[in-house]
Amino acid sequence: MYHFRHYLCLFLFISLVGCSLNNEPTDKNTTTEASDEPFLSITDFSNRTVSFQQHPEKIVALGNGETDIIYALGGDVVGRPTGEAVVKEAENALEVGSTHSVDLEKITSLEPDVVLGNHPMNSKDIDSIESIGAEMILTSANSVDDINKQISMFGDLIGQQKKADEIIYTINEKISDLEETSSENKTRVLLIYGAPGTNMAALPNSLGGNILELAGGINIASDYPSLETYPQYAQLNTERIIEANPEIILLMSHGDPEEVKDSFIQDMSKNAGWSELEAVKNNQFHILPSNLFGTNPGTKVIDALDYMHELLEDVNK
């Protein structure tokens, strides 16, 4: 009888323990829910949220600035813009067109995890890129702050946020240094974006215009009405240019810069008062390096700021 009671008590104890364990909350649901959460989510400049289950390994960059940033962060790309590589280490990456003309066949052959494009230019390419199993992140660079945001975003993307923070700190330090060393007598500047047959004044909301102001210059076209199709630029106004009397004229161009410069001077010299501009009388007409201006220079924006600052300071000497 004793043994029977002993076994009965043992059976009841085991049953109770079993029920208690079954009623305990488990981590199973938590684990399942956690696995449903993306490893990484990026909200790009078009306000799209793009998710990844791991840091992307195969990256295609459609712009030179994006390519530069990825390598500056310690990453690399399998596909880059067509033309001369802005980063020596990227020379062997496949050329896949550009933000203006995407070569989908070449991109497909690379089986990328992500393609870095321009907002809004590559919005039309999102569906095509997603159809080949890749994600697309869109960014733009209309200011130095935009470039800093790109650096931070790509730092998250490839798991190099500490390095991204270091680069951003260096850029911001450069801006602070320029503020302290710029002349109190700021230089009046006409900043032009030129192409064969087309010349526009760069506004402060363009990257070139932002660099100009951060480097200590006065943009004489700052209050010009923006163009509807190119809101970072404005139509040239000869009368207002002559009235503002710029001390220096700077030209950004993707085409043959000398040809664009000659064409611009030929057009402007037809107007009375052109030859009396301080910039003209003092031969202060400069073509800006295409790798630093008129396009996104990436982390080399520091060099662009220095270059612009030196030009402006030379005028005041």
Q: Residue 33: its pLDDT value, please?
A: 43
Q: Is the pLDDT of residue 89 over 70?
A: yes
- Find how far residue 78's CA is from the centre of its chain: 19
Q: Residue 18: its pLDDT value, please?
A: 45
Q: Is the pTM of this model over 0.75?
A: yes
SS3 call for 155: helix
Q: How many domains does the chain have?
A: 2
CATH number at residue 290: 3.40.50.1980
Give the lowest-confidence range in 89-98, 116-125, 133-142, 264-273: 264-273
Q: What is the pLDDT of residues 208-252, one digit of tens each?
A: 999 999 999 999 999 999 999 999 999 999 999 999 999 999 999
**Edge-first strand listing for the sheet containing 114-118:** 94-95, 79-80, 59-61, 114-118, 135-139
Q: Which of 142, 172, 202 is the last residue of a domain?
A: 172
- Pair 304, 253 in one domain: yes
Q: Is residue 19 part of a domain?
A: no
- Pair 214, 121 in one domain: no
Looking at residue 140, the DSSP 8-state letter turns out to be -
Q: What is the pLDDT of residues 49-70, one digit of tens each?
A: 999 999 999 999 999 999 999 9
Q: Residue 6: its pLDDT value, please?
A: 45
Q: Which of 127, 149, 172 is the last residue of a domain?
A: 172
- Pair 94, 154 in one domain: yes
| CA count, 13 A, side-chain hemisphere, 141 | 27
- Pair 201, 293 in one domain: yes
- Pair 51, 168 in one domain: yes
Q: Residue 35: its pLDDT value, please?
A: 53
**Domain containing 193: what range?**
183-315
Tell me the average pLDDT of the chain. 89
Q: Which residue has the tokens 């270091």?
A: 166
Q: Is residue 33 part of a domain?
A: no
- Pair 216, 132 in one domain: no
Q: Is the pLDDT of residue 201 over 60?
A: yes
Q: What is the pLDDT of residues 9-63, one digit of tens each?
A: 444 343 433 444 344 443 333 333 445 688 999 999 999 999 999 999 999 999 9
